[in-house]
Structure 1
């Protein structure tokens, strides 16, 4: 029989895969790069713009700080990449920052990292997709009114792709990522060649002035320092997603650690080259990019209706000769595509981390379950739902979302590097080989430098972004931390409660078993339930009905007496026409009467084959079961009666005449 929901599921995510096919999903480096590194690579598209947005609050007076801020971001990127290469080698099991911190700083610190990363993965999806939509709107301004719908639609598309499995999503995302890298490098090289030959192209906004916000062009001393630090904090969005490779080491082909470390090195080099090139072009072509378009002076029309082009869009138009050239549209297309696909870093990191947390009993166990395509589908869906909700709530506005970003990432950066320093201290205390000790000391130095620098950046980010919305990310991480601790307490309590100390006592049989068969009418399901109950050979059997309608109850009594059944029929009074309460009360009275005995309640149930048929039958059996299951010492046994529609639904589809099974 044709199953429409199942057919649609197979169309979206593909055929189900056997567990032993897991090895076929492991990634070579060429696919791992676009899967795990698309976020830090794509951040080139907005990191420079975020620096400019901050510095232009003072008009053009402070744009001279841009190279210094960019240099700080590049230095930090180098330190973080080198530090995480040590993590990849030391902890190849894939826990990344969470595993490092949990092992070296304790479970509570590990949960801080986990909560921070989970929140930041959600923000990665929201910011990347919103930024991608911005680039689409930069090329096609008429789509501005559909910003939210486009963003949510792209999240749904990414979800479907990732539900198909890691390897298939890697194939789909590899080409756009490599095209983006090639496109940006082509733009940077072309722009620098033109600059070298004395042809300095000017951005479309170069002729526009920038009005300072509330006289901030006169900032000096501490105020200027805070502005520079705020710009640096915004530029650090270039580092988001760097840790994803350390979380995803198990997804690499062997040798896993070496391949993951090599991929991380390539990612760092390419990201730095692109970021420096874009920032240099933005400065030489005098790109003007502001948070509020009304800061721009010299606009021909109303500033409230003016749609700013992104920094990448302005540079593409500048370098390639206008906004109507083929290369301009190529850059916009691959930038928008890779920004949207950059969310794939989170779609791989979030489910992996959630799976590890579920293994450690900090998240529901369903997060560790692999779906039909051997992906952690529950984690993928959870991420999509939360990120889609954020995009809808913030109207897919990058400026609003960016303030909630990167705080969690630097929390995990800092704690993981401190954890790695402790790891190397422990290793050095036990190691005597001079060569190994020298390598460990070098690694400790790298991680120590990483701990100091990322801690400073964390303080800067916290100070400069807290009041602008970062406090929401802090609150979300705190609530998630408390929730995970509560889940772990629940699982620990359940494990303790279910543990067996005395096997003989726990497996002892009840003295007697009393069977109760619920009856509404004397029909086939009732007789099957009676027969099934008697097959258990209980010590007592009674049939129970509830007197909701006196006439129907009288008819049942007459039919029961005429049937010659040996089982007695007990009628429970129900003055308020309830069914569940009288039955539950009667069963509890039996338990009180025979405290050391077991009571088995047999409930006959209809089984239908179509969803709408459930609406035509009352759900009293469901309510009864839900109440009786909370009564200690009571066993609830469903006795199904399959109606004709259920039998048809379960019948396997017929093979076509002459069809032969594969392999025959």
Structure 2
């Protein structure tokens, strides 16, 4: 049944040699890898207004110079990451750049920041998409968490079907959003030019505003910079591109930067000219669309496509998170399971891990994850800064042709990224201080995982491992719960292995039951020694483990090995397991991690 549902949801498995068919062309890559950055125009301008409104609506004209600053930062990042794409064509982005040029710890800080950032990015995207839906349909507000979880499951299934198939589906709503925003901006500008929008709705640029301060402007600028999260995703996902991958990735990055700049600038300008103020239950884009078209068909088109792009922005995280996890796993800093490709040739373990984490976040924050925006924004500017600094070191060390120009580009990128990162810490310390705790903790965990893998490798290598102690014989212990076909099956298997001794062990709770079982056993299996143990506190595991300890101590004197053979019956239908006490699994769980003890389960399958 599970297999049928799985095939229906994610499709038939693909052969390993079909991996080349799972590469992205530029159009699909732009949709699937740029959705996060493009979607930020739906909340980036709003974050600026949320800061300025603390002074007064008269301060809204500052959104224009702040937006210009954000666009300048965007240009610096696009040019910088374009150089990273060509310098590191195998992907890895900030993690690989930082690791190779600044050292392992710098790479781990970059990698850890991005892992957390992708999780938070998807959480915020889903939350923002849910807000867009509930803005258009207010009666859905009570179901925010349920809607968000359904959206996570939907996107997870899409990505488990494979990157090419998910890109084919997701490309349409992404490009529809871009078209809808272009129409909104175009009609809005036309209304402004033709005088259909009153100039009294906004404060003229340059108007003095009481209470404004540099600190507040820097805070608004850092909030607006949250629109630039996702810019690095393309450099991480170069292996997903068709040949030649670096060239296609570079063109996609430039196209994304151009679209982001136009859409961000257009939304900021319309919000300023229309005098839009942020509202708790209606987004800025919703207000602009309502002011431009009224609440008609076009308004719902805008809201619908905005909701879709905000939800699908999560797909950037779904695309980049597994690839970054693969790089970390190859270096043994996280679990190796992240390197395994699933049925559809995607890194399904990374996708599933991301989905489970997201659902937990949504439930924990009750679907209101928007206050995580500063946290994930500062999280992404840390790897921005480390990546650009790493490129500086690379150019100074290698001095390739034209390295001065390259150095200058990355120097500007590093300086601006560092500046924005420090602005976040200074102006929003109360919201981002936790980064200073959990990021070093994540790096510490990385090192502990690496240490574990190295220790395992050292112990498993024949050349360095201690010589194995020769086994002179084997004692087989069979815990029995009664005289049944299950026990008979296990005893027959034990006899087939020709051990030196077979000991059946029965744990009784009552003295009378103990004597009765001994009599029945002697009549049924007189050739196999039975040891009965009385348990005063009705525990099976405790007396059994004490007996095994005694046998092990004696067996060790003669270099004998002890094997515990656990009988277990398997019901015909899996759901029937809940009707049984699973004592065999309990015994196995207690014995499995004991040194020098072999634990084996002998299944007996029921037929009805």
Query: What is residue 65 of structure 1 aligned with on the other side?
Result: 62
| Deviation string, structure 1 residues 430-462 (Cα, Å, up to 9, x no partner) | xxxxxxx32333222211221111111110111
User: Distance between the aligned counterparts of 2:201 and 2:136, measured in 1?
Assistant: 20
Query: What is residue 486 of structure 1 aligned with on the other side?
Result: 448
Could you say what secondary structure the match of 2:355 adopts? helix
| Deviation string, structure 1 residues 164-222 (Cα, Å, up to 9, x no partner) | 221121111100111111111122223323433x324259xx7699xxxxxx95225xx
User: Distance between the aligned counterparts of 2:538 and 2:363, measured in 1?
Assistant: 46
Query: What is residue 331 of structure 1 aligned with on the other side?
Result: 302
Q: Are 1:594 and 2:594 matched, yes or no?
A: no
Q: 1:385 to 1:195 in 2, by over 3 A?
A: same
Cα displacement (A) at 1:49: 1.7
Conserved 8 A contact 2:202-2:273: no
Q: 1:570 to 1:357 in 2, by over 3 A?
A: same
Match of 1:276 among 253, 256, 265: 265
Instruction: Tell me how large the CA RMSD over aligned residues is.
Output: 2.4
User: Distance between the aligned counterparts of 1:507 and 1:393, measured in 2?
Assistant: 50
User: Distance between the aligned counterparts of 1:260 and 1:639, measured in 2?
Assistant: 54
Match of 2:597 among 621, 625, 634: 634
Query: What is residue 540 of structure 2 aligned with on the other side?
Result: 579
Q: Are 1:561 and 2:522 matched, yes or no?
A: yes
Query: What is residue 363 of structure 2 aligned with on the other side?
Result: 392
Match of 2:573 among 587, 610, 622: 610
| Deviation string, structure 1 residues 43-96 (Cα, Å, up to 9, x no partner) | 112212221221222213322322211111001001101111111111122211
Cα displacement (A) at 1:252: 0.9
Query: What is residue 657 of structure 1 aligned with on the other side?
Result: none
Q: 1:502 to 1:81 in 2, by over 3 A?
A: closer
Cα displacement (A) at 1:261: 1.0
Q: Are 1:158 and 2:155 matched, yes or no?
A: yes
User: Distance between the aligned counterparts of 1:547 and 1:388, measured in 2?
Assistant: 46
Query: What is residue 408 of structure 1 aligned with on the other side?
Result: 379
| Deviation string, structure 1 residues 486-532 (Cα, Å, up to 9, x no partner) | 222222232233333367x6355312222223333333332332222
Query: What is residue 355 of structure 1 aligned with on the other side?
Result: 326
- Write the mapping of 1:136-535 to structure 2, written as runs, cut at 5 A: 136-196=133-193, 198-202=194-198, 218-219=210-211, 224-285=213-274, 287-290=275-278, 309-320=282-293, 322-324=294-296, 326-397=297-368, 399-428=370-399, 437-467=400-430, 469-501=431-463, 506-507=467-468, 509-535=470-496
Conserved 8 A contact 2:385-2:417: yes
User: Distance between the aligned counterparts of 2:188 and 2:532, measured in 1?
Assistant: 91
User: Distance between the aligned counterparts of 1:394 and 1:579, measured in 2?
Assistant: 43
Query: What is residue 658 of structure 1 aligned with on the other side?
Result: none
User: Distance between the aligned counterparts of 1:150 and 1:604, measured in 2?
Assistant: 46
Cα displacement (A) at 1:308: 5.1
Could you say what secondary structure the match of 1:218 adopts? coil
Q: Are 1:624 and 2:597 matched, yes or no?
A: no
Could you say what secondary structure the match of 1:618 adopts? coil
Cα displacement (A) at 1:311: 2.2
User: Distance between the aligned counterparts of 2:576 and 2:555, measured in 1?
Assistant: 40
- TM-score, normalised with respect to structure 1: 0.85
Q: 1:395 to 1:559 in 2, by over 3 A?
A: closer
Cα displacement (A) at 1:423: 1.8
Q: 1:594 to 1:350 in 2, by over 3 A?
A: same
User: Distance between the aligned counterparts of 2:520 and 2:360, measured in 1?
Assistant: 58
Q: Are 1:134 and 2:128 matched, yes or no?
A: no
Ranges in structure 1 where 5+ consecutive residues have no aligned partner: 210-215, 294-306, 429-436, 646-664
Match of 1:539 among 490, 500, 503: 500
Deviates more, 1:327-336 or 1:72-81: 327-336
Q: 1:152 to 1:476 in 2, by over 3 A?
A: farther
Conserved 8 A contact 1:119-1:473: no
Conserved 8 A contact 1:347-1:383: yes
Conserved 8 A contact 2:276-2:287: no
Could you say what secondary structure the match of 1:506 adopts? coil
User: Distance between the aligned counterparts of 2:498 and 2:139, measured in 1?
Assistant: 76
Query: What is residue 662 of structure 1 aligned with on the other side?
Result: none
Could you say what secondary structure the match of 1:406 adopts? helix
| Deviation string, structure 1 residues 536-590 (Cα, Å, up to 9, x no partner) | 2222333332233334433332233334642222223434333222222222212
User: Distance between the aligned counterparts of 1:515 and 1:447, measured in 2?
Assistant: 68
Aligned residues: 602
Conserved 8 A contact 2:510-2:534: no
Conserved 8 A contact 1:200-1:284: no
User: Distance between the aligned counterparts of 1:185 and 1:639, measured in 2?
Assistant: 67
Query: What is residue 23 of structure 1 aligned with on the other side?
Result: 20
Could you say what secondary structure the match of 1:605 adopts? strand
Cα displacement (A) at 1:338: 0.7
Q: 1:580 to 1:459 in 2, by over 3 A?
A: same
Could you say what secondary structure the match of 1:598 adopts? strand
Q: 1:201 to 1:481 in 2, by over 3 A?
A: same
Query: What is residue 300 of structure 1 aligned with on the other side?
Result: none
Ranges in structure 2 where 5+ consecutive residues have no aligned partner: none
Q: 1:636 to 1:140 in 2, by over 3 A?
A: closer
Could you say what secondary structure the match of 1:43 adopts? helix
- TM-score, normalised with respect to structure 2: 0.93
User: Distance between the aligned counterparts of 1:423 and 1:7, measured in 2?
Assistant: 51
Query: What is residue 654 of structure 1 aligned with on the other side?
Result: none
User: Distance between the aligned counterparts of 1:195 and 1:548, measured in 2?
Assistant: 88
Q: 1:423 to 1:546 in 2, by over 3 A?
A: same
Deviates more, 1:258-267 or 1:514-523: 514-523
Cα displacement (A) at 1:419: 0.8
Cα displacement (A) at 1:102: 1.2
